[in-house]
Each structure stands twice: as C-alpha cells, then as structure tokens.
Chain A
Amino acid sequence: MSQTTIDPRSLRTPPRRPLRLSWSDERVRAIVWQILVVGIIGAIVWWLWSNTVHNLEVRRIATGFGFLSREAGLPIAENLIPYSPTDTYFRALLIGLLNTLKVAVVGIVLATIFGTLIGIARLSKNWLLSKIAGVYIEVIRDLPLLLQLLFWYAILQGLPGPRQALHPVDGVFLSNRGLKLPWIEWQDAHSYALLAFALGALFTWFYRRDAIAKRIIDGRPRPVWPMALGCMLVLPVAIWAAAGAPWTVDWPELRGFNFRGGLNMSPEYFALLLGLTTYTAGFIAEIVRAGILAVPHGQWEAAQALGLRPGQVLKQVVLPQALRVIIPPMTSQYLNITKNSSLAVAIGYQDIVSIANTTLNQTGQAIEGIAIIMLVYLSISLSISLFMNWYNARIALVER
C-alpha cells in the first residue's frame, strides 16, 4: 500500500486548549478523579499490609522468606532436575514449579490437538462421527474435573502390580506403578545434538520467513524442506556422530519391589494429564467448531471458485479467519489448564501447590507460602496471556 491512500484528515489532531484550574475543565476533573482512586487503592493496600505485619508481630509469628534456604527434608517422587530431601525448600519449590509446567505445557499441546480433532469431527458429515464427538463434549464438559481425575486415577490403580505387569512389547511394562519405557542413557553428546536441533529449527524458521518474503516479490516458490532437513536432522546427527555416537539403551527391569531404570510415567502424572487433556479438549472442540462456523460459507465457495485445492482453501482462506475467533477464548482454556493442574494434590502429583502446602505447614510460614503459590500462578498465567495476545495481534485482521 502506498502512502497516498491515507486520509489526510485522520492525521489532524484536535486543537489544544489551555489547561484551566477549574472543576468545569474536563481534564482537571479526570486528573483529580484518577489521583483520588489511585490514592484510595494505595491506602487500602498499605493499611492491609501494615496491619498484617503488626498482627504477625503481636502474635510472635516469624515472617520473611529466610526459610527458603533451610533444608526441606521432604521426599519428592518426580523431579526433572536432580533433587534429594537434603536440598533446600527453594529447590523443592522449584521442582514443584517444574512439575506444574510439565503437566501444563504437555496438557496444553495435547488438549489443543485433541480438541481440534474433536471440533472438526463434530462438523463432519459422517453422522456417527459427529454424534460421538457431540456426546463426548456434552459428557466431559458436564462432569466436575476433580471427579474425572479421581476416576482416571482409580482406573490406573486397578492395573496389575509390578510383578504381574502387562508386558506388550519388550522393555515396556504397564502396572499400577506406572508406564515403564526403555530410554537411552543421556550423555553430553545427546545434549549437544538437542541444542543443534533447536538452533537448526530457529534458523529454518528465519529462512522460511525470508523465502516467503522473496516469493511475494518475484512470485517464484522456494522450497524450504532441504534447508529444514539439513538443519534439523543432518546437522544434529552429524554432531552426535562426531561426539562418538553414544547409544546405550537403559532397559527397565524388575528388581525387588519395583522397576529400575528406563523412563517412568507415574500413574499420578498420567491421570492428571489424561484428566486435564480430555476435560479441556471438550471446551476447545466447541471453540474450534465455533471458529470454523464463523467463517461465512461464501468464503469457502469463493476460494473454491478461484481453483484452490481443498487443503489450500482450509489453510489459506478459512483457517486464518477462523483463528481470529478461536484464539481469544483459547487463551482462557490454556489458563484454565494451568490453574486446574493445582487439583493435582487430590491424586498425589507433587505440583507447586502440593509442595508449597507442605512447606508452609512445616515452617508455619502460611502467608509467605500462599504468596509464593499466587506468584507462580500469576507469572505462568501472565506469560500465557502475553504470548497469546501477541499471537492474536499477529493474526488479527490488519486494517490498512
């Protein structure tokens, strides 16, 4: 678009009037009201704060975050980074935060995929498929999430014990202790390869953006896949091979009471993930359906009339418009998954709430503990909101 299309009238600003110190001046009134409101809120916050501090002092309750550096002594079953009970409360809370993120992030990805598929299935012309999707949505949405979590957890507990574990394929064991999978013994070479993959993916993304920009100028398509293959597959493999190509598989095996080695997915994590995913997918399905139905039928027909293939119609015409309807309510669902993950305490998954609860009980620092929980959820939620708002702005209808 060239500059000449901008209406010159829209560039004009209204004339500035001098500020008069009078109640009849709208701007003076606005400033006074704002100062008053901010002042009142500030006073209330200060009042609450000073009273809390005063009352804690009177009751001789120690305050502060000094307890964070004390030894926690609490056992945690699942940790993404090394942890032992001799570590500090801070580290224990960090493990809790990572556990919350582990279930929230995976849950968001799975619920999005699963929910989109169900939403599309509900629009399907296949009667059976659309009815199944409809019943799924109605049932899942109408039952309390806590009940569903307990249901899944009870089912997983009904699995046989470790000595009678289900053993469908070599190295895979399913028992009431969780799902055991063989896993490679992680070494530095694997970390380097993973890093190379991440950098490769980033580079590919920039390359693709550049390729699209060039195509818009000269109309010649440039294939991205050779670059993607090179950066995301060949390079990491080459680095891994150069580092000695380590490849030792860690097989799970039954020793004593439990399985040792391999990768473990605990029933607690699995039940929580399953519950959160299936529950939220029900809502996401409806959002996706609404988004697709919001695109007028004429758009489909017009795109077809242009000679676009069905895949292109969906990708180039319908989805970009549907996404504008889908993204804002989707943000709420992502926030819901994150916050609902705090129901983990009911089934024994040690997320941030579980560990912070234990911490505040052992140290007696109730207010600090609750503040930490609030801070964690606020940070995660604001991050999700910020990202989704950025994405929403990016795909929004650009008005020129």
Chain B
Amino acid sequence: MPQFGPSFMRTMGAAALGLALALPGVARAQAPAANANTFDAVRARGQLVCGVNTGLAGFAQPDSQGVWRGFDVDYCRAVSAAIFGDPNKVRYVPTTAQVRFTALQSGEVDVLSRNTTWTLSRDTALGLDFAATNFFDGQGFMVKSALGVKSAKELEGATICVQPGTTTEQNLSDWARANRIRFTPVVIERLEEIVSAFVAGRCDAYTTDVSGLAATRSAQPKPDDYLILPEVISKEPLAIGVRQGDARFADVVRWTHFLLLSAEEFGITQANVDQMANDPRPEVQRILGKNGELGKMLGLDNLWAVNVIKAVGNYSEVFDRSLKPIGIQRGPNALWTGGGLQYSPPFR
C-alpha cells in the first residue's frame, strides 16, 4: 500500500520515534503497557485508541467538521461499539506508513486500522498480529487510453510512476523481472505530485493498488481518458493489526469484522437490526444475542452485535458509504456467496 505523508514529515516522525524510544522516563514507563492486557487496558481507559491513515480518500479522512470518516474509521467505530456499546469512544491517531508499527508496538495505539498489507515478515518480525483482512486489494497499472496499451505485458521500455516506501515498489520490480520487462521508474512520494506527473505525461503508466487507481481515475476531469489495465500483479490483503500478546482483544477485533460480514450475509442492516431480532433463523438469533451467549464468550455485552450494526451497519453498508463514491467496485471483496473472498466462520 502506498503512503501519503510528505517525506520530511515522515523523517521527522522517525526522528521523533527514535527520541521517544530513547527518552528514558516516557519510554520506560510505557514499556510494561506494551505487554499488558490490551483488552483490560482499553476497558479501564474507557476509550479505544485507533491508528488510522493520515488522510486517504475513502479509507480515513477528516471531513470539513474534523470528524474522521471512511472505511477504516468505521472499523474503529465498530470495535468501539462492540466493547463500549458506543461507537464514539474512539481517539484517532493519524499514523504515517513509517511510524505505524512502532505506534502499535509501543502502546500508543490499541489497534491499527490503516491499509496495512498482511505479509509474513510483518506478522513475525514486528511484534504484531493481523486480526482480520477487511479489504482485499492488489496492485495494478493505469495508463492513458490514448497510449493504445491494452495489457501490462506491453509496457516494455515504459516509464512507470510509483510511490516509494512500501510493498508497491518491490512488487513492481519483482513483476518486471519475472516478465523480462525493462522500465524506468519515477519515484515520487506525495500522492498529488505523482498523480500530476502521470497526468502531465512524465510517465506512461502509474502503478499502485487497484483501489487507489480507481480513486485517482474517478477524481480526474475525464475518467474515460484513463484505462486500468486488467493485470493485477500482487496480493494486497489489507488487514487490521493488533499488538501481539493479547489473543482476547485480537478475537474481539476479528469477530467484529466477521460480524459485519455475517450481517450482510443474513441481510441484517442498520435500519432493520431491531426487527431482525425476531427473525426465526437460529444463526441470526445467535448473532443478535437473542439466543446463546456468544457475546459473553468474547468478554463483551451479549448485545454487542446489535450495538455494532446500529453504529456502522453491515459490511456492504460500510463499503458503500465510503468506497463506492470514489469508484471502487466490490470485486474480490464481495461475499463468498457472491463469488468474492469475504467469508465469515459460523457464529456458533
């Protein structure tokens, strides 16, 4: 996933991070918190601290009133509703790509809902766990229609705009090596700069996650002048991260995601959640806490699901609220019943 902060901000962030780790009083005091029980700590604090993107349309962005909105933000609200019964007990901490993992490790945030690709090395080396993949993405290419290119395989010799810093850059060079394609990279960090370089014709193609390409394309005055090529060259499962060491908290986050999926599957929406409690299907009754004690098993209120769905709706409502307006299709994020990858284990 690309990143969007200006570089000097990130450098400063990294420097501040070094300082935070170095400063004795502050850091030593925090160290035990990093290992403590996150679930209890969040409850005792009465507030969930959620690490989000610094500003990415559709995923996490403050609106004109300064209220955070977006797909990732709704997940923070959902977890807050699950724990406290109130979606607004969240403090949002914007994190750059650079400081996001340390922010989680050090206990500065409880949960990282921030377009983070789940990879093996991140899962093992960074002291964090990925609770759930809430958005399946993949890296693609966009070209100008006038270029006459119909497939990424035709990009031999092309100049390709790419944002530096994350998996995107490495995927591009892996793909080029595998397909014996030579290319010239143009590596610019800021989203606006790289898009304007691409639009100005500095590059023949622009590569980033397909969701990002769709958002960029829809923001252009004439979206039809741009073509997203069919090839998807990487898997980018964007997942919610939690700190390693508290399986219970990870369970809460994971099952909150599954709840949104199951709610969509069974047709439970923000509007009809109260009526649905009378639905005869046993699984719906279990989900909504009418039957059984699934909520208590998670250490939550038995009506947690009702609170979550009242707060944010089901997965499709969350998706349509934030991602549909910027031109992102469900694609692989459709439910498994609709041919997609989003699949919830049974609520039983």
A345 to B188, CA, bound (A): 7
Measured between beta carbons, the chain B residues less than 8 angstroms from A52 are 18, 21-22
Given A51-B27, A75-B169, A346-B190, the answer on whether A85 and B105 have CB atoms closer than 8 Å is: no
Q: Can you list, as one digit per residue, whether each of A72-83 has a CB less than 8 Å from chain B (1) or not (0)?
A: 011111000000
A286 to B122, CA, bound (A): 52
Q: Can you list, as one digit per residue, whether each of A341-373 has a CB less than 8 Å from chain B (1) or not (0)?
A: 000011110100110011011101011011001
A225 to B68, CA, bound (A): 73
Decide yes or no whether A158 CB sits under 8 A from chain B: yes
Given A346-B189, A346-B190, A364-B101, the answer on whether A257 and B164 have CB atoms closer than 8 Å is: no
Measured between beta carbons, the chain A residues less than 8 angstroms from B202 are 157, 176-177, 267
Measured between beta carbons, the chain A residues less than 8 angstroms from B90 are none
How many residues of chain B are within 8 Å of chain A by beta carbon? 64
**Are B105 and A59 within 8 A (Cβ)?**
yes
A345 to B201, CA, bound (A): 19
A267 to B201, CA, bound (A): 12
Interface centre among A74, A348, A358 (most CB of B within 10 A): A348
Decide yes or no whether B240 CB sits under 8 A from chain A: no
Given A58-B31, A357-B164, the answer on whether A47 and B24 have CB atoms closer than 8 Å is: yes
**Are B170 and A73 within 8 A (Cβ)?**
yes
**Are B105 and A60 within 8 A (Cβ)?**
yes
How many residues of chain A are within 8 Å of chain B by beta carbon? 52
Q: Can you list, as one digit per residue, whether each of A328-351 has a CB less than 8 Å from chain B (1) or not (0)?
A: 000000000000000001111010
Taking a contact as CB atoms closer than 8 A, the residue among B23, B125, B184, B196 that contacts A51 in the complex is B23
**Are B187 and A348 within 8 A (Cβ)?**
yes
A260 to B306, CA, bound (A): 63
CB distance from A354 to the nearest CB of B (A): 6
**Are B165 and A358 within 8 A (Cβ)?**
yes
CB distance from B52 to the nearest CB of A (A): 18
**Are B127 and A357 within 8 A (Cβ)?**
no
**Are B10 and A357 within 8 A (Cβ)?**
yes
Chain A residue with minimal CB distance to B31?
A58
CB distance from A108 to the nearest CB of B (A): 22
**Are B21 and A56 within 8 A (Cβ)?**
yes
Given A55-B27, A258-B184, A370-B14, the answer on whether A362 and B166 have CB atoms closer than 8 Å is: yes
**Are A157 and B172 within 8 A (Cβ)?**
no
CB distance from B181 to the nearest CB of A (A): 11
**Are A77 and B186 within 8 A (Cβ)?**
yes
**Are B126 and A61 within 8 A (Cβ)?**
yes
Q: Can you list, as one digit per residue, whether each of B170-204 has a CB less than 8 Å from chain A (1) or not (0)?
A: 10111011000001111111100110110011101
Measured between beta carbons, the chain B residues less than 8 angstroms from A257 are 155, 157-159, 204
A54 to B22, CA, bound (A): 9
Measured between beta carbons, the chain B residues less than 8 angstroms from A361 are 3, 97-98, 164-166
A268 to B202, CA, bound (A): 10
Chain A residue with minimal CB distance to B190?
A346
**Are B106 and A59 within 8 A (Cβ)?**
yes
A295 to B38, CA, bound (A): 71
A326 to B4, CA, bound (A): 42
Chain A facing B: main interface SS: helix
Chain B contacts with A in 136-185, Cβ cutoff 8 A: 155-159, 162, 164-167, 169-170, 172-174, 176-177, 183-185
**Are A77 and B187 within 8 A (Cβ)?**
yes
Chain A residue with minimal CB distance to B10?
A357
Decide yes or no whether B7 CB sits under 8 A from chain A: yes
Measured between beta carbons, the chain B residues less than 8 angstroms from A59 are 31, 34, 102, 105-106, 127
**Are B22 and A51 within 8 A (Cβ)?**
yes
Decide yes or no whether B291 CB sits under 8 A from chain A: no
**Are A360 and B98 within 8 A (Cβ)?**
yes
Decide yes or no whether A125 CB sits under 8 A from chain B: no
CB distance from A252 to the nearest CB of B (A): 13
Chain A contacts with B in 69-120, Cβ cutoff 8 A: 73-77, 85-86
**Are B200 and A86 within 8 A (Cβ)?**
no
Measured between beta carbons, the chain A residues less than 8 angstroms from B126 are 60-61, 364
Decide yes or no whether B235 CB sits under 8 A from chain A: no
CB distance from A359 to the nearest CB of B (A): 9
CB distance from A349 to the nearest CB of B (A): 9
A74 to B168, CA, bound (A): 9
Decide yes or no whether B6 CB sits under 8 A from chain A: yes
Measured between beta carbons, the chain B residues less than 8 angstroms from A219 are none
A255 to B156, CA, bound (A): 10
Interface centre among B28, B101, B165 (most CB of A within 10 A): B165
Measured between beta carbons, the chain B residues less than 8 angstroms from A55 are 21-22, 27-28, 31, 106
CB distance from B11 to the nearest CB of A (A): 7
Measured between beta carbons, the chain A residues less than 8 angstroms from B172 are 75
Decide yes or no whether A256 CB sits under 8 A from chain B: yes
A58 to B193, CA, bound (A): 39
Decide yes or no whether A217 CB sits under 8 A from chain B: no
CB distance from B35 to the nearest CB of A (A): 7
Chain B residue with minimal CB distance to A85?
B173
Closest A-B pairs by Cβ, 6 of them: A348-B188, A85-B173, A60-B127, A157-B200, A75-B185, A345-B7
Q: What are 21 A-B pairs at a CB distance below 8 A?
A: A48-B24, A51-B21, A54-B31, A55-B21, A75-B162, A154-B200, A157-B202, A255-B157, A257-B155, A258-B158, A258-B184, A346-B189, A348-B194, A348-B197, A354-B164, A358-B169, A361-B165, A362-B167, A362-B169, A367-B17, A370-B14
- Residue ranges of B at the interface with A (Cβ–Cβ < 8 Å): 3, 6-8, 10-11, 14-15, 17-18, 21-24, 27-28, 31, 34-35, 97-99, 101-102, 105-106, 122, 125-127, 155-159, 162, 164-167, 169-170, 172-174, 176-177, 183-190, 193-194, 196-197, 200-202, 204, 244
